[in-house]
Amino acid sequence: MPDLSAYRFTKTHEWVRDEGAGEVVVGITDHAQSQLGDVIFLELPKVGASLSAGARFGAVESVKAASDLNSPVSGEVVAVNSQVSASPELVNKDPHGQGWLIRVRVEGDLPGDLLDSAAYDSFAQADSH
């Protein structure tokens, strides 16, 4: 398991990692991908799209289900991971690394309701029962 101390998490199972210079990377958690099963399609925003914290920015489809993706931050999409668009299974193989989804130039500070790794783990364990 990678070191997730620099990551923050939402209760809708997205993660955000601060990259400095006002930019963050966003993806879905290992817990989310394991609950979904094999990811077969991702709907992601285009570069330049404006996101609002908590609002839908795309969708992930698996062999089991489809689920909305919700932005952990407000800001502008500055990059989309073309590798996951071409090979959605990267989300299953490496959700906190190569399976990242978008890079966002953040407006303001990170929301205060994001969870640290320990708090998210506790939440995810309770959520799966």
Instruction: Classify residue 115 by its DSSP letter.
Output: B
Task: Decide if 123 is inside a domain.
Answer: no
Q: What percent of the chain has pLDDT over 70?
A: 98
Q: Please report where in the chains the tokens 């996951």 appear, as a residue.
A: 84
CATH number of the domain that residue 80 is part of: 2.40.50.100
Residue 44 belongs to some domain of the structure: yes
The pLDDT tens digits of the residues spanning 44-60 come to 999 999 999 999 999 99
Q: How many folded domains does the chain comprise?
A: 1
> For a pLDDT cut of 90, what percent of the chain falls above it?
90
E-state strands within the chain: 7-9, 14-20, 23-28, 39-43, 50-51, 56-62, 66-70, 75-80, 102-106
pTM: 0.95
48 contacts 17 by C-beta, under 8 angstroms: no
Q: Which domain holds residue 32?
A: 7-109
